[in-house]
Structure 1
């Protein structure tokens, strides 16, 4: 494998990020499949089986039977679903962290080891959770404030102006999220802690956030298209048969797990490659220098 240390690029380029991302994926299929199975595919499969099982138990032909469902059973199922969801969320963060390590090792011309990637992800688990929690709470706060302020415009200026105000207020929130979009790669690579990593991410992304927005928008639209295609096939099967067989539920659970895993893999690798790209653009840092912290 050849190191990808290059001369300093003039600016963040979406095409180069995509090329490097798929190159990393193409060079490490076995590693990625192993990490995906451990942290994403199998957990997603368990969660999907649980959700589809509850879905299959609903009698859509008899709405009255759905209305008299035992409240204690609903509460129990909801609690289990929340627990599964939290576990899946933690594993998704571990998956991203392990892919960051694998991506930078690959770009450094080395062959990533699955054990090393898992070890780094586990070592950084709590700071990673901290970053995710801070970003989530900040996002919720920003949305609430934006909706509140936009709502104040409705009685005075009417709904159209309020909608414009909502969009105008949404832009700073999007820029804020883009500013911290490479916080986890910074944490994994530079070990700066929760707030140090977020501050470092804001510094690295400054001047490149619209390009990052374009990258993430493309990924988002691709994800929507893939998920809509899968939902269409699954929904069509349900509409034609009026119900889903056990085989149909199994196929749906597996298909959904595969789709979510592929999507998570591409996005996580692209974010890690974006971090490397940003460091090269901002600082002229070669990949060899990025790896020194682990030597």
Structure 2
């Protein structure tokens, strides 16, 4: 597949978060490029989706070539998780190409987690569950994969299963400063709190009657988080920030940050309330 400056973000940067991407900088007049290109295409087919190749014609995309400091072709750059991670210049023998690729392609638990991300991107949730469980079977201490699984369970409102997985996280994650875990904890804490709170309409009535009742506002925000009504929860959390940063050790701001992570699949909402929080703070 050929890419250009206009499509590079989608074809390479975004795509490399699902599987490694090799970018082959080439030109039609380049003899060695005509040797390397078919070798890469053959290996791409052989590796069956474990990585993908994208080609950049340097004559037609001089700005891209200059950005990546391509001075000699063929020049191959490997991208993973949105970043360039390795490269080579010239034509490598097939054995060396395989060594280059084998270092790039995820193995074992990493490969299963990559498969889960690809399945989610295609809307195949059950396949994603299976792949994440496979990753954890390879490596039960793989907290990043377990956090993926917990987030998926919470999205599907499988709260008890999510709690069981939280219990299996390492102390490094649960006792450290991990934004993903903090977001998960915020949702589970909100579910716990909501179980003992009055109905949402009663909490709304309390806040309407006394807008300065920050405890009532936080209770309402917790109930809304438990129901995944993140936009409305953020409205009340911001009101707490605006009224009193010292309330419960700045819990309004801290909870907003966790909700941003919980609502990552709703980027417009996150962007809107990040701007409002920034305005309130500065």
TM-score of Structure 1 vs Structure 2, range by shorter chain: under 0.3
Bigger radius of gyration among the two: 2
Larger RCO: 1 or 2 (CA < 8 Å, sep 6+): 1
TM-score by length of 2: 0.22
TM-score (norm 1): 0.22
Q: Choose between structure 1 and 2: higher helix proportion.
A: 1
